[in-house]
Amino acid sequence: MTTNDDDINNRINDDSDAVDQVTTTTTTTNNTTTSNTSSNTIKELNDGMSALDLLLKEGGQNRIITFCHDIDSTLNGGIALGKLTEFCGVPGVGKTQMAFQLAVNASIPKEFFGVAGKAVYIDSEGGYSCTRLREIATHLSNHLQEIASERSEKERDIAEQLSPDAILNNIFYYRVYHYLEQVALVNQLSSFLEINRDVRLIIVDSITYPFRKDFADMGLRTRLLLSMAQNLLSIAEKYNVAVVVMNQLTTKVSNNNNNSNNNNNQTILVPALGDAWTHICTYRMILYWKDRKRFCHLYKSPSFKSCHVPYQIDSMGIRGIEQQEEEEQD
């Protein structure tokens, strides 16, 4: 099926009108908020937090584990609440599998050092698999019951209640097909979280896909992305949820010798969406292949040094290489 130039221009014009409607709603809300700013300035200043209080708050919170010990260790225990974490990688390296694992692990009870929460899964690529998610949830349920068998009766009861069906019931799934749907859905998350205060994880898989086509105005794309990212950051902090976004890689052509000789041009794979997006994420993890093995590179972190660690994907989900070998021996 082909599309002529008039159809493309009409679609772009329709999208621009829709963007105007979305941004007008946001602008109206912002204007209303701005009008009340002066009267609330002193209150907002008094709501500040000391660095010590902030440290104690972050240190006292459980994190969402990945079940790869090495990856969790690089993040001081797992995915942090109140932050935005990005996973980048080529197709097939395991970004969606990581999203599945985190969505399931958000249900781990606090008695087992989890966050005992629900997850919102926003799917823009169509890679969501109920069968695969149930498989991972089944392994988690069995794992918790095995641990609880050596603990108190209360903990055994908690583990038994967290069946695969109970885990799947804790995941809210949304399918989006267009960047306007994604922007609109993110704008509605605050209202959703006001009602569902037990949500502890928001996954966007992927943040990139809807924004890689149908854009004649790249400036518009950048503004929409940055606005959506700021919205996600605000939601993460206000509602104490972990926001995890999956990003694709794109090819970048560079010329190290600053001349026009094409023979000196080099092509490298870099995370999509440009440099402006890079500064938005609190943590950036790059998943890649090396010697037919999967690795995770902690590329950006405000607290931890950069490092590379291996991981694997099997029927149980995301696992570390040493973990898998031990489980196979058992």
pLDDT of 219 reads 80
Predicted local distance difference test score (pLDDT) of residue 89? 92
Task: Give the pLDDT confidence score for residue 49 in this predicted structure.
Answer: 73
**What is the per-residue DSSP string for 212-274?**
SSS-S-HHHHHHHHHHHHHHHHHHHHHHT-EEEEEE-EEEEEEETT-SS-GGGEEEEEEETTH
Q: From residue 76, how far is each of 45, 58, 59, 66, 286 by CA, in Å?
A: 31, 11, 10, 12, 17
Question: What is the pLDDT at residue 112?
Answer: 95
Tell me what pLDDT residue 31 has. 47
| pLDDT value at residue 305 | 87
Q: What is the pTM of this model?
A: 0.81
Domain boundaries, the chain: 63-329
For residue 155, what pLDDT is reported?
94
Q: Which CATH number describes the domain made up of 63-329?
A: 3.40.50.300
Summarised one tens digit per residue, pLDDT across range 50-93 is 776 666 666 668 999 999 999 999 999 999 999 999 999 999 99
Give residue 29's pLDDT: 45
**pLDDT confidence of residue 256:** 60
Q: Extract the residue ranges of the chain whose pLDDT is less than 50.
A: 1-5, 8-9, 11-12, 26-35, 37-39
How many angstroms separate the CA atoms of 175 and 153, rounded?
A: 40
- Which string of DSSP letters, residue by residue, matches 31-83? HHHHHTHHHHHHHHHHT---HHHHHHHHHTS--B--S-HHHHHHTTSSBPTTS
Q: What is the pLDDT of residue 28?
A: 47
pLDDT at 244: 97
